[in-house]
Amino acid sequence: MKTIKKSDLPHKTCIVCRRPFSWRKKWKDCWDEVKYCSDRCRGMRPQKNNSKEKHE
């Protein structure tokens, strides 16, 4: 089994906290969809405003 250095793993930037994070084994099947570095950041993601205001 070939050992990979942590510095050679792919990196992304979290869209909430703007910190870099690297690939984790649990993300091996969904790395393209990963946007957040942690559950905390995923919970603080920006909410879409679906309410429509009525203009009279």
Q: First CA to last CA across the chain, in angstroms?
A: 68
Q: Examine residue 27 and state whether it is found in any structural domain, yes or no.
A: yes
Structural domain range at position 12? 1-33
Q: How does pLDDT run across 21-30, given as a tens digit for each residue?
A: 999 999 999 9
In degrees to the nearest 10, what's the CA dihedral of 24, 29, 33, 35? -10
Q: How does pLDDT run across 26-53, given as a tens digit for each residue?
A: 999 999 999 999 999 999 877 776 655 5
Q: Examine residue 22 and state whether it is found in any structural domain, yes or no.
A: yes
Q: Examine residue 42 and state whether it is found in any structural domain, yes or no.
A: no
What's the number of domains the chain is made of? 1
Average pLDDT of the chain? Answer: 85
Q: Examine residue 17 and state whether it is found in any structural domain, yes or no.
A: yes
Q: Examine residue 13 and state whether it is found in any structural domain, yes or no.
A: yes
Q: Examine residue 8 and state whether it is found in any structural domain, yes or no.
A: yes
Q: Examine residue 38 and state whether it is found in any structural domain, yes or no.
A: no
Q: Examine residue 46 and state whether it is found in any structural domain, yes or no.
A: no
